[in-house]
Amino acid sequence: MLSKRVSRLDASGIRKVFDLAGKLTNPVNLSIGQPDFEVPQAIQKRAIEAIKEGQNRYTVTQGIWQLRQAIGQRLDEEFGVAERNVLVTSGVSGGLVLAFLCLLDPGDEVIIPDPYFVMYKSLIELVGARAVLVDTYPDFRLHVEKISKAIRQRTRAIVVNSPSNPTGAVYGRAELEGLAELARQKELVVISDEIYNKFCYDEPYVSMAGMYERTLLLRGFSKTYGMTGWRLGYASGPAQLIEKMAMVQQYTFVCAPNMVQWAGITALETDISEQVEPYRRKRDLVYEGLSKAFEVRKPGGAFYIFPRAPKDDGEEFVRKAIEQNVLIIPGNVFSSRNSHFRVSYAASEELLRRGVEILCRLAG
């Protein structure tokens, strides 16, 4: 009855842990990848006002011009390039769906650094293409020479996620410039998933979009403003690609929610430094605690850390953690390896201390 394409999909390992969380009593939940702060009041107020103003119908597919103009202005200021092409999407996830539908034919290949955000591989395979994983262990850096060796005749794109989910790695300028040069030589599109761009703790954020003209930039409002359930993001990149993504959106998502788009304008004007700064402290708390018992790299951004599991068995360690009422995610959800596990520090400091204490005890 079902298509072959969906028969290859399995429920996300993250979703399975979420389902399990509902069966536990007061778990120490370090699995959830969403901010633990509320949407700022000004943004909430604007969404409510938009609803009362009657902004409840379809918008044009590409998004209301006021939001696209506001996004474009900020991108112009950041990159110094005027008249950027902007498409408002239903979250970065929606942007990824549109990008893969527009770029890939069956049999094409996309290079993804491993570990990777769980959605990439499944979406690529859903459109009949193939995800080529490039190992980044143990430092989780962007190894351009490995990527170069993975490029073949059917390679169409490279996906970059910085700051990274699940590792928290932030790619530096030299790494991205090296990738830009490689992509330019091979005439490849680089899809730059920058949903965590505001969560960068140790150095100024560097975007791929400022280095390579065939970059598809994907950003969103979910993590930065706590708007995970509001489903608002945007894409910017080559005019031909953005035009086709808008066309496909007509036949899929139609448009991002109207009232949320109006709230998005207010979000772009909202200072969220007070919401982001506590995550630097949480990063330090979790890293310093876990490094006493685990081999672990200090994340530079996002709100995840990716320690190596005892005996290189992430699934077994996660099982033991869940038995102790701590919810974390096995590394093989994000990787071809089972050697690590992901901890989200988007939680209260009190909960993080409890979780770190239990995890370190289990490691001993």
Tens digit of pLDDT for each residue in 248-270?
A: 999 999 999 999 999 999 999 99
Q: Are residues 165 and 207 in the same domain?
A: yes
Does this model's pTM top 0.75? My answer is yes
Model confidence at 24, in pLDDT bands (50, 70, 90)?
confident
User: Phi, psi (5° rounding) for residue 45?
Assistant: -60, -40
Q: Are residues 93 and 229 in the same domain?
A: yes
Q: Are residues 141 and 82 in the same domain?
A: yes
Q: How far is CA 66 from the centre of its chain?
A: 25
pLDDT for res 11 = 63
Q: Are residues 192 and 100 in the same domain?
A: yes
pLDDT for res 244 = 98
Rounded Cα distance, 291 and 112, in Å: 27
Q: CATH no. for residue 107?
A: 3.40.640.10
Q: Are residues 227 and 280 in the same domain?
A: no
Q: Are residues 282 and 255 in the same domain?
A: no
For range 283-287, the mean pLDDT: 98
* Full domain range(s) for residue 118: 46-268
Say yes or no to pLDDT of 39 above 60. Answer: yes
Q: Which of residues 235, 250, 268 is at a domain's end?
A: 268
Q: Are residues 228 and 180 in the same domain?
A: yes
Q: Which of 217, 3, 206 is nearest to 96 (CA)?
A: 217
For range 270-282, the mean pLDDT: 94
pLDDT per position as a tens digit, 90-121 = 999 999 999 999 999 999 999 999 999 999 99
Q: Are residues 13 and 59 in the same domain?
A: no
Say yes or no to pLDDT of 20 above 70. Answer: no
Is-contact 298 287, C-beta < 8 A? yes
Q: Are residues 225 and 354 in the same domain?
A: no
Q: CATH no. for residue 325?
A: 3.90.1150.10
Q: Are residues 309 and 262 in the same domain?
A: no
Q: Are residues 73 and 187 in the same domain?
A: yes
For range 153-157, the mean pLDDT: 98
Say yes or no to pLDDT of 19 above 80. Answer: no
Q: Which of residues 240, 268, 296 is at a domain's end?
A: 268
Q: Which of residues 201, 233, 268 is at a domain's end?
A: 268
pLDDT for res 25 = 79
**Count of structural domains within the chain:** 2
Q: Are residues 56 and 162 in the same domain?
A: yes
